[in-house]
Amino acid sequence: MRHLLSTVGLARDEALGILDLAEDMAEVATRAVPKLPTLRGRTVANLFFEDSTRTRLSFEAAAKRLSADVITFSAKGSSVSKGESLKDTAQTIAAMGIDAVVLRHSASGAAEVLAGSGWIDAAVVNAGDGTHQHPTQGLLDAYTLRKTLHGDASRGRDLDGVRVAIVGDILHSRVARSNVWLLTTLGAEVTLVAPRTLLPTGVDAWPVRVGTDLDAAIAEAPDAVMMLRVQQERMHAAFFPHEREYANEWGLDDARLARLAADTIVMHPGPMNRGLEISARAADSPRSVILDQVTNGVSIRMAVLYLVLSGSDPREVAE
């Protein structure tokens, strides 16, 4: 794998290979010294043009567990504030000697531009671009679903027939887009639930069911409910009348939590707006796998960094 830019077009066998490799990486984390020498001598540059905590730290932890050197760039306080472009920033850091770039950017398509530009000769991993894609988030969500449903027997399993309701701000969510394509490739049945104002144009052509009634979606007893953050920083107009109305109609509150089937999984990519899209009780409930998503993110990113930087047989990695 040269780059990871999107879950669109990611083949089923390729996706399962990444998930299985992440299982090996998760086993490494249980060792007394949770590190592999696999990427010793390689350098990973984390270029974050958007604020991030968990994704940046997750990629840093993943690279360091593979013994790679890590350079982290944040746009705040950098030459970007003086007008430096993505091209100039990437080429400046590439001149220091890097093997892979992990890129987060507010512009949809920025990762594809960098990968296809010829500006640098390094692998590119998309860590979230605008409202477009966040492929490692989709992969870690699929991994978490598979692990929660199948436990130690999850290796090699797909998500055939698993029913997932993705709820909330679909319009601005790269997480939703990555999950729609990846989960359906793996056989899951995805339902999107949102106010009509937060559904993107063309959603009817996606391989999903679409609804606006969260209570109706809960009544169908999905295997998992994935709540999305309301991305107010991307909203330059009124998409719903009031936060209270949004919470009443589309929030996973305590009453809806009580109506979920006993084995329904609660997910959220974070960061959470508690009391808006999810209640504190739902976020902290035994059904919640939100912290598992964070843990599994490191394993998925170890697998992805390994694949883009080595391309060796995944089965050799954790031996």
Q: 268 by DSSP, 3-state: which? A: coil
Residue 135 annotated as part of some ligand binding site: no
Catalytic residues: 54-55, 82, 104, 134
Q: Among 183, 180, 125, 133, which Cα is nearest to 158's?
A: 183
* Tokens describing residue 237: 């107009």
Q: Among 97, 57, 99, 96, which Cα is nearest to 74's?
A: 57
Residue 147 annotated as part of some ligand binding site: no
Residue 241 annotated as part of some ligand binding site: no
Q: Does an H or E element contain 180, and which?
A: helix 174-185
Contact 114, 86 (CB under 8 A): yes
Residue 77 annotated as part of some ligand binding site: no
Residue 134 annotated as part of some ligand binding site: yes
Contact 172, 145 (CB under 8 A): no
Return the residue matching tokens 């860590």: 127
Residue 174 annotated as part of some ligand binding site: yes
Residue 137 annotated as part of some ligand binding site: yes
Contact 61, 300 (CB under 8 A): no
Q: Which residues are annotated as a binding site for L-aspartate?
A: 82, 174, 229
Per the annotation, where are the binding residues for carbamoyl phosphate?
54-55, 104, 134, 137, 270-271
Q: Which residues carry a binding-site annotation? A: 54-55, 82, 104, 134, 137, 174, 229, 270-271
